[in-house]
Amino acid sequence: MTLASASSSAFSTASSSASASRAASVPITLTQCAKTFRGSRVLEPVDLRIEAGETLVLLGPSGCGKTTTLRMIAGLETPDAGGRIAFGDDDVTALPIEKRQVGMVFQSYALFPNLTVRGNIGYGLKIRRMPADTARQRVDELLAMMRLTAHADKPIDQLSGGQRQRVALARALAVQPRVLLLDEPLTALDARLRDALRSEMNALLRELGITTIYVTHDQAEAMELGDRIVVMSAGRIEQIGSPRDIYYRPANRAVAQFVGTINRVAGERRGSMLTTTGGAVPLPAAQANALAERDAKHEIFFRPEDAFLADPAHAQLRGCIESSAFLGERTRLTISGAAPDALLIDVAGRVELARGTPVGISIGQDALIALS
Ligand SMILES: Nc1ncnc2c1ncn2[C@@H]1O[C@H](COP(=O)(O)OP(=O)(O)OP(=O)(O)O)[C@@H](O)[C@H]1O
Ligand SMILES: [Mg+2]
């Protein structure tokens, strides 16, 4: 059995148990939400709408303001004067976290070490003075949903990382939140468990249908989980779009370089061709037409998996293998001489090419990316 199939039972997403944790989902609107800490602006004014039931991912490098944005939505930080946050028609800007009906999972999980699994999941219900038998029933449903029933009475420190992560999620869902806020909930797990739980998380979020904001700096997580992705850098939104938009139609270089790997071919434009060190690449008609005659210097971009090796006699570009990295399912070649910068090209894992081997490269015409 593979790890993925072994863990496909990590969460039970049967509608009966998921519906127990479902509240009416609401859209979230941020209007001109900026944040300044001790005189320094860490978040420029943000306007953002998250649709009811949507999973929106905030993606970006460390320190770009993801957690700050999430904490403002949670009610743990207040936006600078003039900023407004609404859940549906409710203006929640001045409401504290306990009145916002949000479920939150922190990067560290922040579980109570002195409480059992059951005690952690039921904590919010106790605070809200829910009658004991109703609370017990809700906790039982969540234990079943997260496949934690057998661990219900264990203290937290006897659980694995993946189990703790499920307790944190169950605790967030127990209070039937209107909004689910997840701050890098899988980061503390090892790579294999993280990959397996990512698919489970995806199924769970679809099943719950709660408006969710998911913070990560992991591109694969963002791609799999996000209905839309917000790419942030240095306190600003660089782009908002579907995972495919972000990957294939990046708004600028910062996005293209942060999300995946991108190759640059710089050269001179001759008619509808871009000539460069190792040959010439036909420019897409739209790009060629958009260029004025005097724009002789030009550059195009493409992803490593969007080019292929071809017979050097007929290929668009010619170069030499500089190095080759075997990554299991694929091999990543570094090729020099084809363009001013070395190019990274992904080929099947079984391809073995020695350093110095001459190769030809062609790029799919619709794979060329124009960047400002
Ligand atoms: N309470 C605070 N006081 C002062 N500065 C803060 C505070 N909280 C965050 N910052 C600063 O705001 C900026 C954004 O921080 P934030 O935690 O939102 O980043 P992040 O995108 O979540 O990063 P990471 O991926 O590392 O978690 C950082 O420069 C950080 O140092
Ligand atoms: Mg953070």
pLDDT of the chain along its 372 residues, tens only? Answer: 333 333 344 555 444 444 544 557 899 999 999 999 999 999 999 999 999 999 999 999 999 999 999 999 999 999 999 999 999 999 999 999 989 999 999 877 789 999 999 999 999 898 888 899 999 999 999 999 888 999 999 999 999 888 888 899 899 989 889 999 999 988 877 777 788 788 888 888 888 889 999 999 889 899 999 999 999 999 999 999 999 999 999 999 889 888 989 999 999 988 889 999 999 999 887 777 776 666 688 899 999 999 999 999 999 999 999 999 999 999 999 999 999 999 999 999 999 999 999 999 999 888 998 786
Nearest CA to ligand 1 atom 16: 65
What is the per-residue pLDDT for 16?
43
Strands 297-302 and 90-91: unpaired
Angstrom distance (rounded) from CA 228 to CA 43? 20
CA angle at 106 for the pair 81 and 110, rounded to the nearest 5°: 120
**Ion ligand 2 residue ranges (Cβ < 5 Å):** 67
Sign of CA dihedral 152, 158, 159, 164: positive
Strand partners, 211: 179
3-state secondary structure of 71: helix
Angstrom distance (rounded) from CA 60 to CA 236? 10
Distance 280 CA to ligand 2 centre (A): 44
Report residue 307: phi and psi, to 5°.
Answer: -120, 160
Angstrom distance (rounded) from CA 81 to CA 27? 22
What is the per-residue pLDDT for 301?
93
Mutate to test the pocket of ligand 1, among 33, 35, 38, 42 (most ligand atoms within 8 A of CB): 42
Q: Going from the N-terminus, what domains does the chain have, and what CATH number goes with each?
A: 3-257 (3.40.50.300), 263-367 (2.40.50.140)
Nearest CA to ligand 1 atom 24: 62
What is the per-residue pLDDT for 362?
96
Helix orientation angle between 132-145 and 117-127, rounded to the nearest 10 degrees = 130
For residues 170 and 123, the answer to whether their CB atoms sit within 8 Å is: no
What is the per-residue pLDDT for 121?
95
Which ligand is nearest the CA of 182, by number?
2
Sheet of 40-50: strands edge to edge?
40-50, 28-37, 84-87, 90-91
Cβ-in-10-Å burial (0-12, 13-18, 19+) of 3 comes to: exposed
What is the per-residue pLDDT for 23?
59
For residues 145 and 21, the answer to whether their CB atoms sit within 8 Å is: yes
Among the listed residues 291, 299, 292, 302, the one whose alpha carbon sits nearest the alpha carbon of residue 268: 299
What is the per-residue pLDDT for 3?
36
Q: Give the tokens for residue 249.
A: 């139609």
Distance 292 CA to ligand 2 centre (A): 44
What is the per-residue pLDDT for 122?
94
